[in-house]
Structure 1
Amino acid sequence: MSHPWYQHYEEGVPRDFQAVAEPIYAALRRSAERFPDRLAVEFVGARFTYKELWSRVNRFAHALQDLGVRQGDRVSIMLPNTPQFVIAFYGAALAGAIVVNTSPLYVSRELEHQLVDSGSETLVMLDAFYPRYEEIQDKVPVKRVIVTGLQDALPFPKNVLYPLKARKDGTFVKVKARGSVYDWRALLAKSGGQPLPIKVHPQEVALLQYTGGTTGTPKGAMLTHVNLASNTAQCRAWMPGLKDGEEIMLAAIPFFHVYGMTTAMNLGISIAASLVLLPNPRDIKMLLSAIDQHRPSVFPGVPTLYNAINQHPDITRYDLTSIKACISGSAPLPAETARKFRELTGGANLVEGYGLTEASPVTHVNPVHGDQRDGIGLPLPGVDSRVVNEAGEEAAQGEIGELWLSGPNVMSGYWRRPQESAKTLCEKDGRTWLLTGDMAVMDHGGYFRIVDRKKDLIIAGGYNIYPREVEEVLYRHPAVLEAAVIGVPDEYRGESVKAFVVFKPGQSATPEELKTLCRRELSPYKVPRSFEVRAELPKTAVGKILRRRLHDEEIAKVGVGT
């Protein structure tokens, strides 16, 4: 196939790309060997080098093996961006386990589903989240829980003061080590140096990253070591100006999201960057202070994060000029957001990219210094991209069709769901293609633009929200007869969730009652911001609710084109 996008690659970006056939932890080991004394992690004043990081990863891998974790076992990590996340991720991989990224935002019901579906027997979690696990501990296959707290990563005296502050705020949770519950610090303190040698084949699964995919049913995308290592290298190749051992990476986007894991953690580790970890990206004041103090050069993020910076009332008090490159993902980047951010930073290149969980996740990015166009940009080195029409043939330039992707970063399938895998992956022209479900168009220069997203998918603040899951919660209310959930335009979040409900005859409920139900059953970002009561919902001839018609009505109200 032709690759018209090659002509727009920046100088130094390779046109030929070979899959990186190595375990994901190999990059960390290499950085520790090349730059042992380089600062690896900075976390609220705690600092340690690449040599120290590699040592802790080895100790954690050894500790997992001592606890009975064997090759191929699943280890769920439910942590914010902390040193413990980095150690647990690479340590589990080094022990031969499969990491299962678990959102700290999950409520007990969501946590139960993921632990059961993945078959995770080990859970690494923050002490503050432990009560959610207690609610479902008898329903999941977990055999051991490793509990850590933010204080475990803090230097003196912050490690002493933090529990006092948390108690005052009512957020402190004391979890005692007992039976199958282990204390993080004690576990690492008694662990030996080197783990038992495990031969990890690069084609083995390294990560289960849960996603709704194209159907809305949560399932684990199986990402191999090759997938993760290759996508890290592809992102590195896109920015040839980065210098090993010299960059500072602002790690604000969550590592439990594969976008943050690849573009902040794995990419940063691979170039021996200093990672400035922020546990709460919504704390914009802390984020701005970190930029001003630590002078990061690379800052991957999402549009809502950059928009929040742009709109902060005290933005002029902070120096943002150290930032050189920013890749924005997870949602469309408004042109005005990019323009204002470049202005505030003195010319930092903020460009839009595209990806999806099933591709580890980055596939397209606009040139950081070259010709930037409206849309998702050009395929990364090693990514073949085509637009396919309804006849199953490659569409002509300028013609709309489904976006298909192929490359070493494409998943091997969905965990224990062969039928779903067969719907999303297909073999054609001697290679495996990922059918994204996104409608796209490619111009004559090889630049791609998404015309419409996966059917019914809502993206709010960079998070994917599947209407079906929210609707199922609403149907649990005894007064609700019908429910439909859509995304409506939101200047700040991109989209926000709106629910339409039809009540049973003679029954009703207030919006606050419905919202309370949703708050109990869903992560905060999935909870509808607004509700509308209707006598009936639009349906097809066979009775299927037409979410798209509701969406079109909302768009017409605000005068926004689709």
Structure 2
Amino acid sequence: MENQKPWLRHYPEQIPHLITLEERPLFDYLKQAANEHPSKTAIHFLGKELSYTELYMQSLKFANYLQSLGIQKGDRVSIMLPNCPQAVIAYFGVLLSGGIVVQTNPLYMERELEFQLNDSGSTYIVTLDLLYPRVSKMKALTKIQHIIVTGIKDYLPFPKNLLYPFVQKRQNQVVVKVEHHDDTHLFKKIMLNALPEVDEPKINPGEDVALLQYTGGTTGFPKGVMLTHNNIAANTQMCAAWMYNCKKGEESILGIIPFFHVYGMTTVLNLTVMQAYKMILLPKFDPTETLKTIHKLKPTLFPGAPTIYISLLNQPDIKEYDLSSIDSCISGSAALPVEVQEQFEAITGGKLVEGYGLSEASPVTHANFFWEKRKPGSVGVPWPNTEAFILSMETGRKAEPNELGEILVRGPQVMKGYWNRKEETEATLKNGWLFTGDIGYMDEDGYFYIVDRKKDTIIASGYNVYPREIEEVLYEHEKVQEVVVAGIPDPYRGETVKAYIVLKEGVSATSEEFNEYARQHLAAYKVPRYYEFRKELPKTAVGKILRRALIEEEKEKLKDAK
């Protein structure tokens, strides 16, 4: 066993090699937390608190209302919200009603939103009043039948709830007023009028999909990853086992990583409820607000992405805040620089370790140990119940230690498949093994290292960005003849987006012109940061544009600049 899984000899006795996984629907964990810790705070949001009893009752009300609208088991419900109490209530409410959650990024522009809603077949969407003008257009373009609207102020304490519209105006945000009628429903009214009673659906946890989590792939188009109740529960139980020093019912998690990112959904939303922790939610990342929140509310757990930790460390007044409550942080979404890890641990006194995962695995498969042997630069070792190996690029067989190849993983957290994409599912899942598309190696001790990606996916500030999607938008610009988008190294974002453009003959253009155009059609994190105009692009003999050659050029420029 150890020869095949050399990492197991490094496991401390507190972490089991195999966890006995429970076959339960996800909403069962909320019911359990409400029964065992009824008055404990489940959510803290900008001064407003909800107990586990309140969270469960409001989730039941939301489920009751969906059932009164006619939701059927398996119907898809998009949740297009930042981190706020309504996002948690809607998540469990949808599951309690028998629906499937479709996490939807609030930054999506109309084009992106239309694609995801049509691909998922969502018939309901929960969104913010600020986003209603954009979302309401989807009724004519998709299968959306009902829009449920809430506002940040709905869950703010007095007097913040009264002052919030004035704050919006001061920040030049449009204050949108939405009326409750046949196909548009106000979240606040639902909570006032619905009953906390539900016809609980019969769930097969191993087969029934709880979540469609959209991700990208070799085609560049986002795909719906089908995660079952068991997939998500298994990964959350692994996370709890890994953090064995954390006490059930006693920890508090700082929830900055958005729930529409699978990492935030598992390590904040589901872990909190499963372990009866408190989640301290912030609707967006602001370095100063984050430091103030840690100083005041003393969270003990802080999952994040490298850009978050880097941003906090670069605040000139960071030493004025007491960050000593932070005990454990898992960094995901992108490579964690060793110096960032060391600086953050020095200033908080807590542990910051790097992990690895992907949406197709709910998402975590590997992590470094918090309190035992760690290897800087490594993503650690496989979690309990998880198998992994390197498929050699040379031989197509299991690689030797330190030999490069594709990382394959297998475990109960691995997805059921891609939504309505049989061929791509068969290409990615073989005999239960998930072909990750990531290139790396395993050392003699069983620690894994990521070197590159087979996919062209760009990971900028922890967000997955798919070049082909951006290229299609830019190709629609009347001045573009050819375009290729690549991820180039960036010291802060990990990678950033650059577009290389060949203009049509006889026209001229500026970066500013393309930047304005891209912002009309793409979420802000997908908009290229740089534009380079060229007479031609490097290509293969058959005319395929060599994206990798451009990336190598950028790396050489960086070397020369040093």
What TM-score bracket applies, with the shorter chain setting the length? Answer: over 0.9
Q: Answer yes or no: is the 8 Å Cα contact 1:62–1:193 preserved in 2.
A: yes
d(CA) in 2 for partners of 1:157 and 1:406? Answer: 51
Aligned to 2:303: 300
Q: Which residue of 1 aligns with 2:50?
A: 48
> Which whole-Å deviations, capped at 9, do the CAs of 1:366-402 have from their partners, x for residues lacking one?
0011111121100000110011124432111111111
- Is the alpha carbon distance of 1:78 and 1:560 closer, same or farther for their aligned partners in structure 2, counting shifts above 3 Å? farther
| Counterpart for residue 237 of structure 1 | 241
> 1-side partners of 2:275 and 2:559: how far apart?
46
Partner of 1:541: 541
Spell out the pairing of 1:245-264 with structure 2 (5 A cutoff). Answer: 245-264=249-268
TM-aligned CA deviation for residue 490 of structure 1:
1.3
Q: Quick check: 1:78–1:104 contact (8 Å CA) kept in 2?
A: yes
For residues 20 and 446 of structure 1, what CA distance do their matches in structure 2 show?
28
Selected match of 1:94 from 93, 96, 119? 96
CA drift of 1:488 comes to 1.4
Per-residue CA deviation, residues 321-368 of structure 1 (Å, 9 max, x unaligned), is 0000000000000001111101111x2110000000000000000001
Does 1:423 pair with 2:466? no
In the alignment, the residues of structure 2 paired with residue 416 and residue 117 of structure 1 have an alpha-carbon distance, to the nearest angstrom, of 8
Tell me, in whole angstroms, the C-alpha distance in 1 between the residues paired with 2:455 and 2:412: 26
Name the aligned partner's letter for residue 518 of structure 1.
Answer: A
Amino acid at match of 1:443: D
In the TM superposition, what whole-angstrom CA distance separates every residue of 1:55-86 from its partner, at most 9, and x where no partner exists? 11111111110111111000000000000000
SS in 2 for 1:220: strand
Query: Given residue 493 of structure 1, which amino acid in structure 2 is its aligned partner?
Result: R
Query: Does structure 2 retain, via aligned residues, the 8 Å contact 1:473–1:517?
Result: no
Task: Report the 3-state secondary structure (helix = DSSP H, G, I; strand = E; otherwise coil) of the residue aligned with 2:245.
Answer: coil
1:134-283 equivalences under 5 Å are: 134-171=136-173, 172-202=175-205, 203-281=207-285, 283=286
Maintained 8 Å contact 1:144/1:181: yes
Code of the aligned partner of 1:200 = I
Q: How big is the shift at 1:539?
A: 0.1
- Residue 344 of structure 2 aligns to a residue whose secondary structure is helix
SS of the aligned residue for 2:290 comes to: helix
Which residue does the alignment assign to 1:556?
556
State the number of aligned residues: 555
Judge conservation of contact 2:62–2:191 (CA < 8 Å) in 1. yes
The CA distance in 1 between the partners of 2:381 and 2:240, in whole Å, is 15
1:119 to 121, 133, 151: 121
SS at structure 1 position matched to 2:149: strand
Q: CA deviation at 1:173?
A: 1.5
8 Å CA contact retained: 2:209, 2:229: yes
Contact 1:18 1:382 (C-alpha < 8 Å) held by counterparts = no
Contact 1:214–1:436 (CA<8 Å) still a contact in 2? no
Deviations 1:178-234 (CA, angstroms, capped at 9, x unpaired) = 220001011121111211121111020000000103432111000000000000001
State yes or no: 1:406 paired with 2:410.
Answer: yes
| Partner Cα distance (1:129, 1:424) in 2 | 35
- d(CA) in 1 for partners of 2:200, 2:484: 52
Cα deviation for residue 164 of structure 1 reads 2.2
Aligned amino acid, residue 125 of structure 1: T
**2:333 and 2:356 in contact (8 A); partners too:** yes
TM-score normalised by the chain length of structure 1 = 0.97
Output aligned runs, 1:28-43, within 5 Å: 28-43=30-45
Which residue type is aligned with residue 32 of structure 1? A
Q: Against the structure 1 CA distance between its residues 252 and 560, is the aligned structure 2 distance closer, same or farther, given a 3 Å change threshold?
A: farther
Question: Matched residues in 2 for 1:59 and 1:560: separation?
Answer: 61
CA RMSD of aligned residues (A): 1.2
SS of alignment partner, residue 559 of structure 1: helix
Q: Structure 1 residues 214, 263: CA separation in 2 closer, same or farther (over 3 Å shift)?
A: farther
Pairing 1:323–2:326 present = yes
CA distance in 1, matches of 2:145, 2:129: 17
CA-CA distance at 1:458 after TM superposition: 1.0
Q: Distance in 2 between matches of 1:145 and 1:173?
A: 15
CA distance in 2, matches of 1:164, 1:70: 40
Match of 1:5 among 7, 30, 38: 7
Task: State whether residues 20 and 233 of structure 1, in contact with CA within 8 Å, keep that contact through their aligned partners in structure 2.
Answer: no
- Large movers: runs of 4+ above 3 Å: none
- Within a 5 Å distance, the mapping from 1:485-524 to structure 2 comes to 485-524=485-524
Q: Which residue of 1 aligns with 2:16?
A: 14
Letter in 2 for 1:70: Q
Which residue of the partner structure matches residue 66 of structure 2? 64
Contact 2:217 2:457 in 1 (8 A): no
Aligned match of 1:477: 477
**1:350 partnered with 2:337:** no
Cα deviation, 1:237-261, whole Å, max 9, x if unaligned, reads 1111110111011011101111000
Deviation at 1:560, TM superposition (A): 8.7
Greater shift after overlay, 365-374 or 213-222? Answer: 213-222
Checking the alignment, whether the CA contact within 8 Å between 1:353 and 1:377 is kept in structure 2 is yes
Aligned residues with identical type, % of pairs: 50
Query: What does residue 455 of structure 2 align with?
Result: 455
Which amino acid letter does the alignment assign opposite residue 89 of structure 1? Answer: Y
Partner of residue 77, structure 1: 79
How far residue 33 of structure 1 moved from its aligned partner, in angstroms, is 1.3
Point out the more displaced range, 137-146 or 210-219: 210-219
Letter in 2 for 1:417: R
Deviation at 1:36, TM superposition (A): 1.0
Matched residue SS, 2:125: strand
CA distance in 1, matches of 2:287, 2:246: 26
Q: What is the CA–CA distance in structure 1 between the aligned matches of 2:454 and 2:225, rounded to whole Å?
A: 17
Which AA in structure 2 matches 1:523?
Answer: A
**Contact 2:139-2:145 at 8 Å conserved across structures:** no
Change in 2 beyond 3 A, CA 1:370/1:215: farther
- CA spacing shift, 1:560–1:440, aligned 2, 3 Å: farther
The separation in 2 between residues aligned to 1:8 and 1:15, in whole angstroms, is 11
Query: 1:543 offset after TM fit, Å?
Result: 0.2
Aligned to 1:369: 371
Partners of 2:180 and 2:196 in 1: CA distance:
22
- SS of corresponding position for 1:336: helix
Does the alignment pair 1:466 with 2:470? no
Deviates more, 1:7-16 or 1:390-399: 390-399
Letter in 2 for 1:305: I
1:52, CA displacement in angstroms?
1.2
Deviates most, 55-64 or 211-220: 211-220
Amino acid at match of 1:457: T
Is the Cα–Cα contact under 8 Å of residues 217 and 455 in structure 2 kept in the other structure?
no
For 1:454 and 1:97, the matched residues in 2 are separated by: 34
Unaligned runs of 5+ in 2: none
SS in 1 for 2:517: helix
Match for residue 129 of structure 1? 131
- SS of residue in 1 equivalent to 2:487: strand
Provide the rounded CA distance (Å) in 1 between the counterparts of 2:183 and 2:30. Answer: 30
Instruction: Pick the aligned partner of 1:290 from 285, 290, 293.
Output: 293
Equivalent residue of 1:386, what SS? strand
Deviation digits for residues 524-561 of structure 1, max 9, x if unmatched? 01111111111100000000000000000000000199
